[in-house]
Amino acid sequence: MSVFIDGRVEQGSFDLEVALAFESGRVTGILGPNGSGKTTLLRAIAGLTFLTSGSLTVDGADWKSLAPQDRSVGLVLADPVLFPHLNATDNVAFGPRSRGVAASTARERALEELDALGIADLAGRKPKALSTGQAQRVALARALATDPKVLLLDESLAGLDPQTRTTVRGVLASRLAHFDGTTIMVTHDPVDALTLADELVFLEDGRLTQRGTPAQVSAAPRSTYAATLVGLNLLPGNATGDGLVATGLGEVRTTSEVVGGCWISIRPNAVSLWHSPPLARRATRGR
Ligand SMILES: Nc1ncnc2c1ncn2[C@@H]1O[C@H](COP(=O)(O)OP(=O)(O)OP(=O)(O)O)[C@@H](O)[C@H]1O
């Protein structure tokens, strides 16, 4: 076990009360409706919000009263926040530098991390010359370059267009497979949850309502929210690279550039069932 939180955070009329353990080397997706306490949980682990009562330990060390800068945490928000005057390498090197690593070692580490996230070619660019997707990869590299014990992702892919999101999600999945720390990821996106997370935690109104692997939650969702979220259609397919994927149900058109064996996820509410061709007025929504 790496991160153990058993406590309460009071914020005005809202209170979060959870007892959760997160293992190192694993990715946990935190899901729940707006205002259910997901960001509050991440802020409590990062030290940006203090526990009103209870305990927070990481690898056995007491973090409850530790200042944010003394916690080994990498935090990536929805909007990439980079220093505008520094290029990508120096932005990423800033993390290890601020933890006392020598300049040349920090730059080497930064280049390694940019490479791992597939953006070594952007090393010399300043943020104003980066797209949002590229900037978010730099922000991820900066968070990872400090080798944090805990990586906190708060809707980190939310600001990306669907195609970029697919690319960054793939890069992130490959990187997290080699990350030894604990990753806790807040998302509203079922595809992020099902493809990146080893385990899902559902919070509703400040309380844990379900925890399990994606397969366990899909098989027996305990709330309407969980059922809606995980009720994805997942189809095995074979992508030909021209935007078409052959599946057992026929050809599906996608915007993804993947070629070869793949999985397609289709949200149930994206499927319409028609008694006669779509120009007819009567349609039955599929669920
Ligand atoms: N500083 C604060 N003072 C008082 N209440 C707060 C504060 N920050 C958040 N809250 C309240 O705490 C509750 C939980 O907020 P939180 O941001 O953790 O929810 P969330 O699950 O991350 O929501 P979302 O999905 O919309 O991002 C909300 O009701 C919010 O209004």
The pLDDT tens digits of the residues spanning 136-155 come to: 999 999 999 999 999 999 99
**Of 246, 202, 191, nearest in space to 30 by CA:** 202
- The domains of the chain are located at 3-232, 233-287
What's the rounded Cα separation, in Å, for the pair 97 and 103? 6
What's the rounded Cα separation, in Å, for the pair 246 and 164? 23
40 lines ligand 1 (CB under 6 A): yes
Residue with tokens 């990869």: 137
**Nearest-CA residue for atom 31 of ligand 1:** 35
pTM for the full predicted model: 0.84
ipTM computed for the complex = 0.96
Residue 108 — pLDDT band, cuts 50, 70, 90? Answer: very high
What's the rounded Cα separation, in Å, for the pair 47 and 66? 7
What's the rounded Cα separation, in Å, for the pair 236 and 112? 34
**What tokens does 94 get?**
């800033």
Contacts of 96 (CB under 8 A, 6+ apart): 105, 106, 109, 110, 145, 146
What pLDDT digit, counting tens, does each position of 258-282 carry?
A: 788 887 777 777 788 888 887 755 5
HEC profile of 53-97: EEEEEECCEECCCCCHHHCCEEEECCCCCCCCCCCHHHHHHHHHH
- Report how far apart, in Å, the C-alpha atoms of 69 and of each of 48, 57, 98 are: 10, 16, 10
Residue 273 burial by Cβ neighbours in a 10 Å radius (0-12, 13-18, 19+): exposed
Residue 128 burial by Cβ neighbours in a 10 Å radius (0-12, 13-18, 19+): exposed
CATH superfamily of domain region 3-232: P-loop containing nucleotide triphosphate hydrolases (3.40.50.300)
Q: 203: which strand partners?
A: 208
238 lines ligand 1 (CB under 6 A): no
What pLDDT digit, counting tens, does each position of 25-81 carry?
A: 999 999 999 999 999 999 999 999 999 999 999 999 999 999 999 999 999 999 988
**b or e along 187-204 (b: 16 or more beta carbons within 10 Å of the residue's beta carbon)?**
bebbbbbbbbbebbbbbb
206 lines ligand 1 (CB under 6 A): no
36 lines ligand 1 (CB under 6 A): yes
CA of 192 relative to ligand 1 center, distance in Å = 22
Residue with tokens 């990821």: 185
CB of 223 within 8 A of CB of 204? yes
What's the rounded Cα separation, in Å, for the pair 157 and 192? 8
- Report how far apart, in Å, the C-alpha atoms of 105 and of each of 94, 99, 125, 167, 224 are: 11, 12, 20, 29, 50
- Report how far apart, in Å, the C-alpha atoms of 158 and of each of 30, 136, 187, 191, 202 are: 14, 10, 8, 12, 18
**Nearest-CA residue for atom 7 of ligand 1:** 11
Strands 182-186 and 27-31: parallel
What is the arithmetic mean of pLDDT over 88-105?
A: 94
pLDDT at 281 (0 to 100): 56
Pocket test for ligand 1, best of 31, 38, 51, 75 (most atoms within 8 A of CB): 38
